[in-house]
Structure 1
């Protein structure tokens, strides 16, 4: 029996996608699969893919001929190539154009674009899903989108990130003291400071809390293009908001929070939401993308861009101990319904087995298009 060889390709590397590839690489290696990870060098520094047993090849997130040529050379010896994210899928499709190597595309999330950029984005999506033998989309909405773009086989492939270690020991007291949130409510959010993340709406909501006693403190972890503009608003309007910049202790910040907020325009299976529910931190999130199916009844959902509804939902949780306690208890229960790390790895390996029977790992019989048993789209 020959050993299955797979190449995992990452583009810019969202935190969720990168953590998933690290987890997937470790699980596949443990099952006898040879794994090569192609990703920007900085991602290996953060996620240590060789530490998971994978071979690592640094590949920048570009689509120039030299970069595509490097990918082509690495993928030439693979049984299956697995791209994570749209950018990685488009580059992998170009690298495999003259090769008979099947491509699997895990669609983690999608950017938002309008006008000419929106048209270009749709073309890239179409190219990626049509080049893939199987698209594993992380939300039902993305499954539908892949099928509209012409995917031959699109399935629900929800990615549940492995829980951070040591959750039971987190108390949040140190973080609250550091932030100056002792004796006042703490609202936490985290993510890139980009327009689509809804930080402007959160700042609008924070203005409505200025009349509260005590005034809730809003802690925002992350960096990005909107940092300077948000900083100016906070200072000019005297908002109860701290911009923390890049933080490596978001889990500890969440453990300290009274309420977590996710205010973005679109999310699939947001790692921030997953951590909040696991920790039992009540979550207020926008009802967009894959968020409703991720959180179920374990979060307060509000429309995107509605600062009045967002402010009211947070106020309710801070002023209603019974509702706060109910959501705190519901979060871990909802998290327990998500696919485990083992189940995620098993689903991916079953797809590889379908596509690569020559390795002796599967029967060679191709299942009909659509989700595998128990993963209805």
Structure 2
């Protein structure tokens, strides 16, 4: 098992004075799919409105299923209609080639900002904050904030992306990361000074902490649950190998995989070849019920920002085995089992421990839930954003 990561390199944004008055905020993201960043911006938008702050949410491209979560909330949703980006972070070449559509969306953004006259514009994810920064300048928005939600490995070796990002960052007042690991990565890769970045961890709503009825699952074996998109960087191939090794140790289990992605056919073939009981359930909206059914939750990622899946498992009081990448050690230090990435044997050892030592698994699950209740509530996350926005406004 691996040790905990030092998370003191960057200050966490805390609470401060309530002046000056904060009344209008605009948020911006690509779309409202089922990803973690989309979940967090929805929670933040609802929390701002609940505090009497007029909130507008700009969508660069598509709407999505999370739009339903904002119905009746008082959040104004405006789609900028840019269809050039289908996979944020990756299709920069396509975005650049689609210049006309991009310019139209940019002009709409500036026009909407001039009408809304927000005090703060906070943009999540790469394609949004590189558009938001110059738009905020043109519309004379007092404060522009850029959100970092993941490690910047997708930009490594891409000089154009890094150059564009540095120009945009120079126009913003602050960068907000959702984990210390993400902040440290931004400082290393982009050369950001420490006083231009703050950390606010993701938040979870009350419903994430409520007990629910376990999902029905036909099996007599212990259940290991993994909630993650089926993509190479999530490390499922090592997890399947680890589950096979558990069988060899006379500790078979049923592996439940929630998520969808391009690796599914290869992973299904691997599971069949290894002869393990792996259930591929695709996208689900009843994850909480499967968390209640699981004996152990696992995340084998090769890279990670701050995992909502791990946070939800912690809120449910489940023992978690995860790789020590990105912000995961910040969540699980002394509250879960951390193992090196791309190491099936270490993953198997961690799972074996949690499946056989029931006292240890109960202790870690309880500690994780208690820490999440104290540090990862939606109210805490929203209040820290409000305090941060006010401090930036106060600086002028």
TM bucket normalised to smaller:
0.7 to 0.9
Shift, 1:335, TM fit? 1.2
CA deviations 1:226-245 (Å, max 9, x no partner) are 11211222233323211111
| 2:177–2:200 contact (8 Å) kept in structure 1 | yes
C-alpha distance 144-54 of structure 1, shift in aligned 2 (>3 A):
same
Shift, 1:97, TM fit? 4.7
Q: Which moved more, 1:324-333 or 1:255-264?
A: 324-333
Question: Do residues 100 (structure 1) and 133 (structure 2) align?
Answer: no
Shift, 1:150, TM fit? 4.0
Question: Do residues 161 (structure 1) and 204 (structure 2) align?
Answer: yes
Residue of structure 2 equivalent to 1:373:
none
C-alpha distance 116-144 of structure 1, shift in aligned 2 (>3 A):
closer
| 1:19–1:47 contact (8 Å) kept in structure 2 | no
Q: Which moved more, 1:187-196 or 1:90-99?
A: 90-99
Residues matched between the structures, number: 352
C-alpha distance 266-123 of structure 1, shift in aligned 2 (>3 A):
farther
Question: Do residues 16 (structure 1) and 54 (structure 2) align?
Answer: no
CA deviations 1:79-108 (Å, max 9, x no partner) are 221112223212212433533222112212
Residue of structure 2 equivalent to 1:4:
23
- Secondary structure (helix, strand or coil) at the match of 2:154 reads coil
After TM superposition, the score normalised by the length of structure 2 is 0.81
Residue of structure 2 equivalent to 1:345:
382
Long gaps (5+) in structure 2: 1-19, 86-94, 96-101
Residue of structure 1 equivalent to 2:45:
25
Shift, 1:121, TM fit? 4.6
Cα distance in 2 between the residues matched to 1:334 and 1:238: 38
Cα distance in 2 between the residues matched to 1:45 and 1:23: 10
Residue of structure 1 equivalent to 2:3:
none
Task: Determine which structure has greater relative contact order: mean sequence separation of CA pairs < 8 Å that are 6+ residues apart, divided by chain length.
Answer: 2
Cα distance in 1 between the residues matched to 2:386 and 2:155: 36
Question: Do residues 272 (structure 1) and 333 (structure 2) align?
Answer: no
1:1-377 aligned at under 5 Å gives the runs 4-12=23-31, 15-39=35-59, 40-43=61-64, 45-59=66-80, 60=82, 62=85, 64-76=102-114, 77-101=117-141, 102-110=143-151, 112-113=153-154, 116-117=157-158, 119-148=159-188, 149-151=190-192, 153-164=196-207, 167-168=210-211, 170-172=212-214, 174-176=215-217, 180-181=218-219, 183-211=220-248, 213=250, 215-356=252-393, 364-365=394-395
RMSD of aligned residue pairs (Cα, Å)? 2.5
